[in-house]
Structure 1
């Protein structure tokens, strides 16, 4: 063991590679259960140890907006997945620890192929990304050989490999509008974001895959209408993946809610809107982890979830114990086949080239 660094290794680590196990007095408390990694609480001792281990591992810690508050607060950067991946690509650290779900860590690896990318629990998946496979997309493309494939960033690397242009929820409309109006578009995988794109572009040649995020889909119009009645005058921040997005626009059209109060926004867009808002109350239709960042951005505003039970179990698999384990063990490392990564990176670069890089999902 190298006593100067605390590493259980006799050779110096190569940049961008795992560096072996690190010693930590908290490591013995970590327990693996059927629900994930437990046994370690987010105490001050834990926070100090996370920072120490991150420095030893030369790691930058990224946390998605839907993570639990303790993980958001310890991270070097918090945001949506694409923005975080782009930050990581420019970071000086050789290791990226992505506190999010698996496709997000894949995207970080795609944009930083020479860096080590770790996800604290590789079982943290995504119901939306899982709603279409590369095989299903290949078959869909074969049925529409002249179509342009537009994939939301919330997809696997294998799907991005077969994609012409990626998009985010904030730039999906711009991406589709950049495509020749005569060309058919295959939009995937989120049906609610796809419906939003069709509505905004008024193109009937946008074919939409019937996928969904099970958390966002469960935030429905009845819940939104009920909360809007309970809180008249409140602004509505609605993520376009939500099942209630159409209902929000309907409420505005019918005059039940002032049209200026309804904002269809990405997670990054919600933070920007909160900082610029003069509202006293805001109803938020997205995963409940977002509330933490909104309250930090604008503590004077009363942010309320439309559905307080809209919590993603996969996001919440990134526990304090899981993050500690990732830094101690150098686990779980995310790999993307180089050819797949190169093709997928091209679909992201083509998105950026249209002039609106997007703020993420």
Structure 2
């Protein structure tokens, strides 16, 4: 709220993984896959992005609009270092490196391809490379290996594990559905404002 008040007239773009309260204070949401299109859809020459500085820094490469951003980051993606990527490349000759735009700019600079999680599934299927170094949370590996049994997937760092994502287990999901427990409720005024930001994102044309 304070940052918005400092920038009257500047639209706030919130990553879709933010809380409902943050969305309610934002003008439009984005995902890592559509962030460039969302920013380009704005009828202003400036925008303020929250909460990930690395994603914002990446989007700035593809737009002439002046972006400012909240100095936050995804701890999992931000832990990956250029040194770890270079070591993985050295140990896997002929490999390609794909990473998420929430990685540090200096890591993104080393990537053969930068994309969202869904984009990584598409990239893995389409690339002719037989070894792919994956710069995102380790949970993606199961599906990548299942869909591409003839390819090798390498994590460049053992730190690419999100403790928050691992808090919820399949058993937790089953129990919640069976007993209808752990229900998330959002105040109606927050829901209505957050929905506006989400609906604006959905109105942005897709490629």
Normalising by structure 1, report the TM-score: 0.55
The unaligned stretches of length 5 or more in structure 1 are 1-137, 253-261
How far apart in 2 are the matches of 1:248 and 1:200?
Answer: 14
Could you say if the C-alpha distance between residues 223 and 214 of structure 1 is closer, same or farther in structure 2, counting changes exceeding 3 Å?
same
- Are residues 1:268 and 2:118 paired? yes
The unaligned stretches of length 5 or more in structure 2 are none
The 8 Å contact of residues 224 and 248 in structure 1, kept in 2 or not, is answered as: no
Cα offset, 1:283, TM superposition: 0.2
- Are residues 1:167 and 2:30 paired? yes
Cα offset, 1:272, TM superposition: 1.4
Could you give the per-residue CA deviations for residues 54-81 of structure 1, whole angstroms, max 9, x where no partner exists?
Answer: xxxxxxxxxxxxxxxxxxxxxxxxxxxx
- Are residues 1:315 and 2:165 paired? yes
Corresponding residue number in structure 2 for 1:195: 57
State how 1:310-349 maps to structure 2 within 5 Å: 310-349=160-199
SS in 2 for 1:340: helix
State how 1:62-141 maps to structure 2 within 5 Å: 138-141=1-4
State how 1:242-257 maps to structure 2 within 5 Å: 242-243=103-104, 245-249=105-109, 251=110
Could you give the per-residue CA deviations for residues 108-137 of structure 1, whole angstroms, max 9, x where no partner exists?
Answer: xxxxxxxxxxxxxxxxxxxxxxxxxxxxxx
Could you say if the C-alpha distance between residues 221 and 308 of structure 1 is closer, same or farther in structure 2, counting changes exceeding 3 Å?
same
How far apart in 2 are the matches of 1:248 and 1:155?
Answer: 23
Cα offset, 1:223, TM superposition: 0.9
Corresponding residue number in structure 1 for 2:97: 236
SS in 1 for 2:61: helix
**Pick aligned residue for 1:286 from 115, 136, 140:** 136
**Pick aligned residue for 1:146 from 9, 14, 19:** 9
**Pick aligned residue for 2:47 from 185, 200, 213:** 185
Aligned length: 207
- Are residues 1:355 and 2:205 paired? yes
Normalising by structure 2, report the TM-score: 0.93
CA radius of gyration, larger in: 1
- Are residues 1:306 and 2:156 paired? yes
SS in 1 for 2:182: coil
Could you give the per-residue CA deviations for residues 199-241 of structure 1, whole angstroms, max 9, x where no partner exists?
Answer: 22143x2101111111111112111111112222211110011
Corresponding residue number in structure 2 for 1:221: 82
How far apart in 1 are the matches of 2:97 and 2:183?
Answer: 39
How far apart in 1 are the matches of 2:144 and 2:93?
Answer: 20
Could you say if the C-alpha distance between residues 352 and 289 of structure 1 is closer, same or farther in structure 2, counting changes exceeding 3 Å?
same
How far apart in 1 are the matches of 2:7 and 2:19?
Answer: 21
How far apart in 2 are the matches of 1:292 and 1:323?
Answer: 19
